[in-house]
Amino acid sequence: MLKAIEISADVYWVGGVDWNERNFHGYTTERGTTYNAYLIVDEKIALIDTCKAPFAEDLIARIADIVDPASIDYLVSLHGEMDHSGSLPALLDVAPGATVVTGAPKGADILRAHYGDDLPVQAVKTGDVLDLGKRSLSFVQTPMVHWPDNMVAYDAFDRILFSNDAFGQHLATSKRFDDEVGLPEVLVQAQKYYANIVMPYGRQVAKALGALEGLDIALIAPAHGVIWRSHVAEILEAYRAWSSGDPEDRAVVVYDSMWHTTEAMAREVAEAFVECGVPVKLLDLKVNHISDIMSDVLPAKYVAVGSPTLNMTMMPTVAGFLCYLRGLAPKNRIGLAFGSYGWAPAGPNEVAEALEKSGFSLPLGALTRQWVEDDEGLSFVHDAVVGLVRGQGDEEPLA
């Protein structure tokens, strides 16, 4: 029998655990995920978010462990994406008197587009307060973190920030709190989540963090993964760093290779970073998923990408990575393009063009070598990278 889990007096986690989700629209979720919903029992009863549609029965069963679902007064939708709103129709079936509270105007638009114009919606804006009795929920809209409708709700009585996607992690576990899993493990998933979902919206994240400044927060209750209880300061600081647009002195070298020449160049690029004291990761696209690579791209100032020429273009694995990278739009980075070719350097040149189009500065252009790489060629690559990194050390920080 499914149970609700009390996270604070009269506040319950009633979500769903998706142990076997392995692909979240292209993002590999090797640890599964959760769809968190929270029940607040006061003079009025509120449910914050729902679950992905297949978890509606689990959600209703956990609610029924505490109250009759028909007694729910408010269904608060902080974000209309279907992993959080998919069970809304099922909830309205069992709680037909409930009012749906969502952001104005985008939350209301999105929910009506998905679930019909007759949805009983009360649209709220930043500064609006929903009175529940002893408690009230104060809303702060956080547009584009990561859809236009996102908002968070703060319960000052329990000092809980219900943050929806922000501060989430795709992490299925039988535990509900950060300290029960351990900070390093949770942070790995929080970083992957930020890199793959939130990274394009760093400016909006910084603005949202500013709006939350000064709140007394005991718990951050996100819509995915575990609840932040013992490490609230750490996750807030991590979001500040990730959204700052000020990457660390780190490098990732990403490549694919046909006959190991581009691979040899990749190794030489990595060795050059090591020689300069810059931590580096060397990632072959044949065996690393692009969504895992993005975790390493997130803090890295240098992103080096290598491809040989295949059929007068770059390799499809590299093209896919660069397409994904362009969408996630990391800011203030230095790109390096490299690769080998037989009779035309189209592959590495296309890598350079793609990085430039994505906003990377590319001081070295494309490092290309014909046919098999020899010691002289590798020295050329090595010296170019060392010169770049050492030169960077003398320059102003990236704007």
Q: How far apart are the C-alpha atoms of 186 and 234, rounded to whole Å? A: 11
Instruction: Return the range that interacts with ligand FEO (CB under 6 A); candidates 80-88, 235-243, 282-290, 336-344.
Output: 80-88
Judge whether 167 and 198 are in contact, CB under 8 Å.
no
Q: Which residues pair with 47 in a beta bridge?
A: 39, 75
Q: How far apart are the C-alpha atoms of 251 and 326, rounded to whole Å? A: 18
Nearer to ligand FEO, 83 or 350 (CB): 83
Judge whether 27 and 168 are in contact, CB under 8 Å.
no
Cα torsion 128, 132, 134, 137: sign = negative
Question: By beta-carbon distance, which residue lies closest to ligand FEO?
Answer: 81
Least CB distance to ligand FEO at residue 38 (A) = 14
Task: Verify binding: residue 223, ligand FEO, rule CB under 6 A.
Answer: yes
Known catalytic residue: 81?
yes
Q: Residues 131-160: x/- map of binding to ligand FEO (CB under 6 A)?
A: ---------------xx-------------
Task: Verify binding: residue 79, ligand FEO, rule CB under 6 A.
Answer: yes
Least CB distance to ligand FEO at residue 297 (A) = 21
Q: Which of 170, 224, 231, 382 is catalytic?
A: 224
Least CB distance to ligand FEO at residue 29 (A) = 11
Question: Under DSSP, is residue 253 helix (H, G, I), strand (E, B) or coil?
Answer: strand
Least Cα distance to 110 among 125, 98, 95, 121 occurs for 121
Instruction: Return the range that interacts with ligand FEO (CB under 6 A); candidates 9-17, 75-83, 212-220, 318-326.
Output: 75-83
Residue with tokens 């749906």: 100
Task: Verify binding: residue 84, ligand FEO, rule CB under 6 A.
Answer: yes
Q: Which residues pair with 96 in a beta bridge?
A: none
Q: How far apart are the C-alpha atoms of 216 and 160, rounded to whole Å? A: 8
Least CB distance to ligand FEO at residue 358 (A) = 23
Q: Which residues pair with 228 in a beta bridge?
A: 220
Task: Verify binding: residue 250, ligand FEO, rule CB under 6 A.
Answer: no
Nearer to ligand FEO, 33 or 392 (CB): 33
Judge whether 167 and 113 are in contact, CB under 8 Å.
no
Least Cα distance to 381 among 300, 263, 286 occurs for 263
Known catalytic residue: 224?
yes
- Residue 304 in tokens: 């080096």
Known catalytic residue: 237?
no
Nearer to ligand FEO, 53 or 362 (CB): 53
Pairing of strands 248-255, 300-306: parallel
Q: Which of 21, 58, 83, 268 is catalytic?
A: 83
Judge whether 279 and 331 are in contact, CB under 8 Å.
no
User: Half-sphere exposure of 57 toward its Cβ, with a 13 Å CA cutoff?
Assistant: 2
Q: How far apart are the C-alpha atoms of 70 and 63, rounded to whole Å? A: 10
Q: Which residues pair with 22 in a beta bridge?
A: none
Least CB distance to ligand FEO at residue 51 (A) = 10
Known catalytic residue: 231?
no
Task: Verify binding: residue 192, ligand FEO, rule CB under 6 A.
Answer: no
Least CB distance to ligand FEO at residue 33 (A) = 9
Task: Verify binding: residue 104, ligand FEO, rule CB under 6 A.
Answer: no
Peptide bond into 224 cis (omega under 30): no
Q: Which residues contact 185 (CB under 8 A, 6 or more apart)?
A: 171
Nearer to ligand FEO, 222 or 299 (CB): 222
Task: Verify binding: residue 165, ligand FEO, rule CB under 6 A.
Answer: yes
Task: Verify binding: residue 208, ligand FEO, rule CB under 6 A.
Answer: no
Known catalytic residue: 194?
no
Residues 132, 137, 142, CA angle at the centre, nearest 5°?
155
Number of residues that bind ligand FEO (CB under 6 A): 9
Known catalytic residue: 79?
yes
Task: Verify binding: residue 170, ligand FEO, rule CB under 6 A.
Answer: no
Q: Which of 38, 79, 170, 178 is catalytic?
A: 79
Identity of the residue numbered 240: R
Among 83, 158, 268, 350, binds ligand FEO (CB under 6 A): 83
Among 18, 21, 49, 81, binds ligand FEO (CB under 6 A): 81
Known catalytic residue: 193?
yes
Nearer to ligand FEO, 50 or 317 (CB): 50
Catalytic residues: 25, 79, 81, 83, 146, 165, 193, 224
Binding site for ligand FEO (CB under 6 A): 79, 81, 83-84, 146-147, 165, 223-224
